Amino acid sequence: MNYKAPRGTRDIFGETVLGLNLLEQKAKEIFIRHGFDEVRTPIFEEAALFTRSIGQTTNIVEKEMYIFEDKKKRKLALRPEGTVSLARAFIEHRMDVSRSACKFFYSGEMFRYERPQAGRYRQFRQIGAEIYASSSPATDAEIIILAQEVLSSLGIDKISIHINSLGCEKCRPFFREALVKYFSSVKDLCEDCLRRLEKNPLRLLDCKIDSCKFTDDVPEMSDYLCCDCKDNFYIVQLLLKKANCNFTVNGRLVRGLDYYTRTVFEVRSSTVGSQDALAAGGRYDNLIKEIGGQNTPAVGFAIGAERALLAAQNVGFFENLKIPEKIFVAIADQELFSEAFTFAVKITKYGINGNKDISVFGPINGKSLTNQLKFAAKIQASKTIVFAKTEFENDKVLIKNMKDKTQSEIDLNKL
Ligand code: HAM
């Protein structure tokens, strides 16, 4: 077969699937405890929804969206992230008007046409949470603490939280102006940065190309924040400190999405390689209005599930995985097939001695016991329950321990 999974995607199985499930289960438990409700939005949306809200000159919109036309020539896009879809759903269901519920979480696949590398895929999972209708800086702190809580529930403790304020529509233009002035004198800007200089100067701070590197005297937003933004950012920091949440103020932190206002943050881990952002988010007070809703402030974050799993794996997370015990039901005598089959159905439903954490295989018709045992070894069964004529006549079966090769007899009614 010449077919392969498309570049940047992968088949996920074995421990990785179990790990991702456990990671999402833990995150969901925490979100529910904090009063968040789950929402599932479609995997594709009208392309214009994303282009309009994420920003025309962002990498995501310029280069990374999977856009296609359906049979009716509607322009659709696979979602590159969850925040915008959730905001669309919030407005569509008039929750911006009723404000009956304001805390939501989601998890699911996102799609970005990026250059694949370790921790960076074209199809990846995000677990995110958003809080609507609060402009309080306490909500920014709550979201950052929540991101930290989810990651530490996975055992990930070696993280650094970077925060910054991107200001508001009043003060940001002055910062943009200062950036344009600064970068206009930088020679050898890459092609993208030359465009950014004109259209989206904040993104200049995020360029990874050496010739675009800036020096220490590059302008920082903190020097341009208006009084309200300054006070706001001060309170966020104060509350984080009071909650013993360690963070670094990183004046150069900008984000790859244009909808942010004021607080932005990234949670990084040095244990996962160059794609070190495990989670990221921030405040986006204008997005809901911009896409047609009532003026509703909002703040949220998303964890990259694959990267979080990688970091968790490095601190022994996989040791917590509950892998069901594999039980193989075999027959030494072919005429016992139906009895063994009924028994397998019974233990699959009710478990063995109340233990339902099992995976049941067999019986296999028409194969010698030797071949059945070989199969049991291949699937790494821990026990094989053998139906043999002599024992079965006394209502007994044989139990083979596949690891130490010991064997014992047991009453069928005791299982
Ligand atoms: P983002 O920074 O684009 O933010 O993505 C959040 C996280 O998703 C990243 O920190 C990273 O862990 C993961 N991620 C992003 N791209 C990839 C990729 N190609 N492969 C693997 N993992 C990836 C957002 O998406 C915002 N919607 C976050 C947010 C929620 N802001 C407010 N609310």
- Which CATH number do you get for residue 328? 3.40.50.800
When pLDDT is averaged across residues 169-188 and rounded to a whole number, the result is 92
Asked if 295 contacts 289 with a C-beta cutoff of 8 angstroms, the reply is yes
Mutate to test the pocket of ligand 1, among 85, 106, 110, 296 (most ligand atoms within 8 A of CB): 110
- Whether residues 61 and 159 share a domain: the answer is yes
When pLDDT is averaged across residues 363-376 and rounded to a whole number, the result is 94
Indicate whether 216 belongs to any domain: no
| Residue range 90-109, pLDDT digits in tens | 999 999 999 887 999 999 99
Indicate whether 8 belongs to any domain: no
| Residue range 284-321, pLDDT digits in tens | 999 999 999 999 999 999 999 999 999 999 999 998 88
Q: Which range has the worst mean pLDDT, 120-124, 129-133, 276-280, 361-365? A: 361-365
Predicted pLDDT at 378: 95
High-pLDDT (> 70) share of the chain, %: 100
Q: 379: domain range?
A: 324-414
H helix intervals, 9-81 = 15-33, 47-54, 59
Name the average pLDDT for the chain: 94
Structure tokens at 310: 């990688």
Predicted pLDDT at 408: 93
192: Cβ below 6 Å to ligand 1? Answer: no
Indicate whether 195 belongs to any domain: no
Q: What is the pTM of this model?
A: 0.93
112: Cβ below 6 Å to ligand 1? Answer: yes
Using the predicted structure, report yes or no on whether residue 214 has a pLDDT greater than 80: no
Nearest residue (by CA) to ligand 1, atom 3, is 256
| Residue range 185-204, pLDDT digits in tens | 888 888 888 888 988 999 89
Nearest residue (by CA) to ligand 1, atom 14, is 304
128: Cβ below 6 Å to ligand 1? Answer: yes
| Residue range 112-160, pLDDT digits in tens | 999 999 999 999 999 999 999 999 999 999 999 999 999 999 999 899 9
Nearest residue (by CA) to ligand 1, atom 12, is 304
Predicted pLDDT at 191: 87
Predicted pLDDT at 310: 95
Cα 253 to ligand 1 centroid, rounded to whole Å: 14
Using the predicted structure, report yes or no on whether residue 66 has a pLDDT greater than 90: yes
Q: Give the CATH number for residue 41.
A: 3.30.930.10
Which of 318, 334, 351 is the C-terminal boundary of a domain? 318
Using the predicted structure, report yes or no on whether residue 217 has a pLDDT greater than 90: no
Predicted pLDDT at 276: 94
Cα 229 to ligand 1 centroid, rounded to whole Å: 25
- Whether residues 40 and 87 share a domain: the answer is yes
Nearest residue (by CA) to ligand 1, atom 20, is 120
Indicate whether 213 belongs to any domain: no
- Whether residues 395 and 254 share a domain: the answer is no
- Whether residues 18 and 103 share a domain: the answer is yes
Coil, helix or strand at residue 398: strand
- CA atoms of 225 and 203, how far apart (whole Å): 18
Predicted pLDDT at 169: 95
- Whether residues 364 and 280 share a domain: the answer is no
- Whether residues 160 and 112 share a domain: the answer is yes
Using the predicted structure, report yes or no on whether residue 50 has a pLDDT greater than 90: yes
- Whether residues 299 and 345 share a domain: the answer is no
Predicted pLDDT at 296: 97
Predicted pLDDT at 73: 98
Predicted pLDDT at 254: 93
- Whether residues 308 and 396 share a domain: the answer is no
Using the predicted structure, report yes or no on whether residue 212 has a pLDDT greater than 80: no
The DSSP secondary-structure symbol of 61 reads I
- Whether residues 129 and 33 share a domain: the answer is yes
Indicate whether 64 belongs to any domain: yes
Cα 268 to ligand 1 centroid, rounded to whole Å: 12
281: Cβ below 6 Å to ligand 1? Answer: yes
Cα 82 to ligand 1 centroid, rounded to whole Å: 9
Query: Cα 295 to chain center, whole Å?
Result: 28
What own/partner pairs with CB < 8 Å and gap ≥ 24 does 88-92 have? 88/41, 88/45, 88/49, 88/291, 89/39, 89/41, 90/132, 90/288, 90/293, 90/296, 91/288, 91/291, 91/292, 91/293
Nearest residue (by CA) to ligand 1, atom 16, is 120
- Whether residues 302 and 405 share a domain: the answer is no
Ligand 1 atom nearest to CA at 257: 3
- Whether residues 311 and 344 share a domain: the answer is no
Indicate whether 2 belongs to any domain: no
Cα 108 to ligand 1 centroid, rounded to whole Å: 12
Residues contacting 202, CB < 8 A, separation 6+: 166, 172, 175, 176, 179, 254
Ligand 1 atom nearest to CA at 126: 8
- Residue 383 pLDDT class (50, 70, 90 cuts): very high
Which of 298, 318, 338 is the C-terminal boundary of a domain? 318
Which of 318, 333, 360 is the C-terminal boundary of a domain? 318
Provide the domain count of the chain: 2
Coil, helix or strand at residue 267: strand
Q: How far from 141 is each of 127, 133, 280, 284, 303, CA to CA, in Å?
A: 18, 15, 13, 14, 16
- Whether residues 64 and 90 share a domain: the answer is yes
301: Cβ below 6 Å to ligand 1? Answer: yes
106: Cβ below 6 Å to ligand 1? Answer: no
Indicate whether 186 belongs to any domain: no
Indicate whether 211 belongs to any domain: no
Nearest residue (by CA) to ligand 1, atom 2, is 280
| Residue range 237-257, pLDDT digits in tens | 999 999 999 999 999 999 999
Structure tokens at 215: 């020096």
Predicted pLDDT at 132: 97
